[in-house]
Amino acid sequence: MDSETTHRSDAGTGHTGPARRPGPRLGRRATRTLAASLALAATAFGVAGCDSAAAGTVEGRHVELPVSGGTAVVDTGSLAVTAHADDGRTMALSGPAAGDLGAPGPVRRTAAGARWSYPAKGLSVTARADHGRLRIALRADRDGSVTWPVTGTDPSASSLQVPRGEGLDVPVRDAFWNSAKGGLAGSTVDMGADLALPLWGYSLGDSGGGHGVSYLTSTDIGTSLRFASAGGRLRTTASHAFDAGDGTRAYEVSFALTDGNPVAPAADYRALLAQQGKLGSLREKIRKNPANGKLLGAFHAYLWGDARTADGVGRLKKLGVDRMWLGYDAGPGPMDAAAVRAAKGAGYLVGPYDSFANGQDPKTADSPTSVWPGRVYPDFCVRRADGSPESGFHGRGCYLSSRAFEKAEPSKHYLADRTRAMVANGADSYFLDVDATGELFRDHGAGHRMTKEDDRAMRLARMRRLSQHLVLGSESAQPWANKVLAFDHGAGTPVADGLWKLERDKEAWGAYYPEKAPKFFFKPVRLPADVATAMYDPKYRVPLYETALHGSLVNAERWELSYEKLPAQKTTRALLAMLYNTPLNYVLDGPSLKRDGGELASLQRYFSPLHRAAGTERMTSFRWLTGDRTVQRTVFGDGALTVTANFGDAAYRGLPGGCVDARLRGDEAPRRLCPARAGG
């Protein structure tokens, strides 16, 4: 299709000027035309205005509060939430809470809104207008749970945004996603661990129609999101467990009216992070540690065998690769000082893989990163309530308590000594596995008890120390770690459950041998059709993570999903990387470097100037240019970089299918890449 259906994000990060209310909304055609303009203000999302001077009204059991783009009405009897947009449209933001809340107590006005209670549930509630959003906070005086908000109930709901990996936009009536094959319907996810961002959203009306809603849950620990297919339509319901021991007696959800753009919820979240002082800046990280600047323009690769040597590094440089992040595991034969010098001399970053999360008996440990001095194992094991240790990944040893390490660090220096040993070869980067994911633990161990929130704080503290001197990365970085990390591996991948099943099949996927080129990483694999659709079908992919965090850290895919691991997805993945301004991730040994090095170099030479120009900028626009979503466009900064990718088979305005055009500010003509022909 050649019609230009435009959905645009102007991801303004934290407007704090005078309160503004948008005027009457334009018709659909005019809205689309306006949305194409880079001058569109952040208020088009309905999230950038500050609190209105009015604190709303209370009429009986209904609390009405001003939000950007209209007003929100909370039914205190059921917690149902509706909104009245400035153009007169009424929308259901949440159905009534599931289960019986009991009779509400009296509603009292506050300076910013209202408060009331549900005595039978031991809940107190406040509702207020906050930076153009409706913010509802629940606090419990006893353990229990609440199932709310109940979303996707508005009849006009057309698509669901969910940050699984980089992000998905799922039409609510899509047959694939309403079936078991899609892996959403019937599933429940942990908001703090299974999603890349603590949010979800809906577009309302055909192709967004200029209306939508975002849901932000800052209290992600203890919160889950359930996906259900009801009458062939995807609905979502959040639940929160109030648990004093887990420190989750508080629950908060913020609602915002948006323009229906598929990345609007992420723009809303970025604005919230900025307003709270929780949004990091890669530019500032480079100022504090200039080595971080070597991430700009770099592809990422884990090295094996001969690729770990100075000669292997020299081959990359000879191919014309000007920037790389090179990593290696802690097994036999890590990169020596000569290889590290060669890498740094070539302008590359280089660093080890490490983990502070696992401990094993030194006599039987299967990885050097799991061996610790003294009685770290088993004394530092996270303990369950019954005193048993929390088994480590795949039953290996135990997970180690971050609080135990923090308490011991001032005198024992276990972590500092480990880090010094790992970078004694001169490495200037560090990949710390697991620490920034949402995998958090409550620890009942004597002397190192902690809640999941404590665990998060302890991990942040040690990552902050590392980031002062090293270019720090971690796995699938949750946004709470965005200020301490320079890069992550994994948040770019919208993992479908079928992937884990496939990876456990060592015959199909490959095992962890031979040592110098494990088939787990190097054996090419064809994904089952449903897994490929769920993860890489471009018509469902949207850059939620980049809209929220581009310019704060550099995001890449999982390291076991190297660019060459999935041959059928190579073109799509390359186009997505260029469109999102994110690096490709590789695993390399001597033979693969010889076989694939030319292609890698060709792709990296195209990427490098684009990422150098825009890697520190925010993503300001994402839109579909065709009704079938096969042609997509992004903009970074104030026009610093514009990228158009054609995922289809037919040409679009001169751009062939399977190709991407990028234009830097000042370019007279776009720079074109057709990945299938790279390195040929």
| pLDDT reported for residue 394 | 86
| pLDDT reported for residue 370 | 97
| pLDDT reported for residue 9 | 43
Contact 525, 486 (CB under 8 A): no
Q: How far apart are CA 642 and CA 659, in angstroms?
A: 14
Confidence of residue 2 (pLDDT cuts 50, 70, 90): very low
Confidence of residue 333 (pLDDT cuts 50, 70, 90): confident
Q: How far apart are CA 291 and CA 64, in angstroms?
A: 51
pLDDT digit string (tens) for 61-91?
999 999 999 999 999 999 999 999 999 999 9
Helices assigned H by DSSP within 148-290: 264-275, 282-288
367 closest CA partner among 326, 396, 388? 396
pLDDT digit string (tens) for 417-453?
999 999 999 999 999 999 999 999 999 999 999 999 9
Angle in degrees, CA 414, 415, 421, rounded to 5: 90
281 closest CA partner among 644, 641, 37, 14? 14
Give the neighbor-by-neighbor strand order of the sheet with 429-432.
554-556, 487-489, 471-475, 429-432, 349-354, 324-328, 299-303, 585-588
Q: How far apart are CA 580 and CA 619, in angstroms?
A: 8
Contact 579, 645 (CB under 8 A): yes
Q: How far apart are CA 334 and CA 309, in angstroms?
A: 9
Q: Which residue has the higher pLDDT, 46 or 245?
A: 245
Q: How far apart are CA 135 and CA 139, in angstroms?
A: 13
Confidence of residue 36 (pLDDT cuts 50, 70, 90): very low
Residue in the block written with tokens 């042609």: 631
Q: What is the mean pLDDT of residues 282-307?
A: 98
Q: What is the mean pLDDT of residues 306-314?
A: 97
473: which strand partners?
A: 431, 487
Instruction: List CB contacts of 242: < 8 A, sequence separation 6 or more.
Output: 140, 142, 143, 144, 145, 146, 222, 248, 249, 251
| pLDDT reported for residue 570 | 98
My answer on whether omega of the bond before 514 falls inside 30° of 0, hence cis, is yes
Confidence of residue 54 (pLDDT cuts 50, 70, 90): low
pLDDT digit string (tens) for 114-163?
999 999 999 999 999 999 999 999 999 999 999 999 999 999 999 999 99
Q: Report CA torsion sign: 270, 275, 280, 282.
A: positive
641: which strand partners?
A: 636, 664
258: which strand partners?
A: 212
7 closest CA partner among 215, 211, 198? 211
Contact 570, 531 (CB under 8 A): no
pLDDT digit string (tens) for 340-380?
999 999 999 999 999 999 999 999 999 999 999 999 999 99
pLDDT at 26 over 50: no
Q: How far apart are CA 281 and CA 643, in angstroms?
A: 22
pLDDT at 18 over 60: no
Phi and psi, residue 126, nearest 5°: -125, 140
pLDDT at 548 over 50: yes
Q: Which residue has the higher pLDDT, 206 or 636?
A: 636
Using DSSP, state whether 679 is helix, strand or coil: coil
Contact 432, 463 (CB under 8 A): yes
Paired tokens of 268: 């809303």
pTM of the model: 0.93
Residue in the block written with tokens 């696992």: 358
SS (H, E, C) 497-559: HHHHHHHHCHHHHCCCCCCCCCHHHHCCCCCCHHHHHHHHCCCCECCHHHHHHECCEEEECCC
Q: How far apart are CA 254 and CA 268, in angstroms?
A: 10
| pLDDT reported for residue 12 | 36
**Percent helix / strand / coil, the chain, rounded to 5:** 30, 30, 45
In which region does residue 434 sit, left (phi positive, over 0), alpha (psi from -120 to 50) or beta (all else)? left
Give Cα 651 distance to the centre of its chain. 31
Residue in the block written with tokens 């990060």: 13
pLDDT at 662 over 80: yes
pLDDT at 31 over 70: no
What are the distances in angstroms from CA 605 to CA 88, 577, 578? Answer: 51, 13, 12
Instruction: List CB contacts of 343: < 8 A, sequence separation 6 or more.
Output: 313, 324, 326, 335, 349, 350
